[in-house]
Amino acid sequence: MQNESGMLILFSGPSGVGKDTLLDIILGKNELFQRSVSLTTREKRSGETDGVDYYFISKEKFIKMVDDGQVLEYAQYGDNIYGTPKAPVDKWLSEGKTVILKIEVKGAQKIRELYPDAVSIFLLPPSMQILEKRIRARGTENEQDIAKRLEIAKNEILRSADYDFVVINDKIDEAASNVLNIINSMNFTYKKMSNKISEVVKNV
Ligand code: 5GP
């Protein structure tokens, strides 16, 4: 199902670990990088823009889009649903783009089944204490949401074993550079290079 020329990156990690900040750093580094904008039923946080951070839609619209086959995967997270719109991902892959999905662990598992060549990266906090501090510093969730997110975080971290790569976000620039190195190195796997190899030996 995955187009040979494109690459699909699954980027997961607990809430507050710094996925958005890291993506903001790496997205400008390569013109082929394309971040997928997800659908969500959650409320917009201050500073977020509809169509840029997420498509903020109603639960009814979400269900209708799922029924119409427009959603590649979706998962419940806390009290809300999040999902990946299908058409743009397939278009970008066919254009040879490196498509990056910010996605929680259940959605990542579904995508692995659909796109076995997807490369998965899990961003880990240095400790649960630091993670809690970061969520609190964001100041966007109430106590109940914070407790829920920390509980989900523990379960998500236990599923990091399903991922190809794990990067610790202690210093954000270092973590971003490690993620970039991983993505870049995936262009040099034997599978990615096999066409080139055939070309090289064509006239031997
Ligand atoms: P937040 O509310 O903090 O923006 O996101 C909550 C969780 O939903 C994060 O773990 C994030 O990775 C995940 N998420 C965001 N978009 C998607 C998506 O399209 N599909 C799935 N399955 N999870 C998503």
Categorise residue 59: left if φ over 0, alpha if ψ from -120 to 50, beta otherwise.
alpha
What is the domain range of residue 45?
A: 7-198
118 in a domain, yes or no?
A: yes
CATH number of 188's domain? 3.40.50.300
Distance from C-alpha of 103 to C-alpha of 71, rounded to nearest angstrom: 13
Phi and psi dihedrals of 41, rounded to 5?
Answer: -95, 0
Return the pLDDT at 1. 42
Q: Quick one: which of 192, 36, 35, 23 has its CA closest to 117?
A: 192
Contact partners, residue 77, CB within 8 Å, separation at least 6: 104, 152
Instruction: Determine the distance separating the centroid of ligand 1 and the alpha carbon of 188, expressed in angstroms.
Output: 29
CA 165 to CA 11: how far, in whole Å? 10
Does any ligand 1 atom lie closer than 6 A to the CB of residue 125? no
Instruction: Look at ligand 1, atom 17, and give the residue with the nearest C-alpha.
Output: 103
Q: Is residue 184 part of a domain?
A: yes
Mean pLDDT in order along the chain per 10 residues (204 residues): 74 95 95 97 94 97 98 95 97 97 97 96 97 92 93 96 98 98 95 90 84
Instruction: Give domain status of residue 45, yes or no.
Output: yes
Residue 1, domain member (yes or no): no
Instruction: Examine residue 2 and state whether it is found in any structural domain, yes or no.
Output: no
pLDDT of residue 4: 53
CA distances from 200 to 96, 188, 195, 197 (A): 22, 15, 9, 5
Closest CA to 62 of 53, 52, 73: 73
Within a domain: 181: yes
Atom 24 of ligand 1, residue of closest alpha carbon: 103
User: Which numbered atom of ligand 1 lies nearest the CA of 16?
Assistant: 3
Residue 40 placed within a domain = yes
**CB distance 25 to ligand 1 below 6 Å:** no
Q: How far is the CA of 95 from the centre of ligand 1 (A)?
A: 25
- Does residue 203 fall inside a structural domain? no
State whether the beta carbon of 36 lies less than 6 angstroms from ligand 1.
no
pLDDT at 112 (0 to 100): 97
Number of domains in the chain: 1
Interval between CA 4 and ligand 1 midpoint (Å): 26
Which tokens belong to 171? 């210093």
- Report the residue among 44, 82, 155 best suited for mutation to probe ligand 1: largest number of ligand atoms under 8 A from its CB: 82
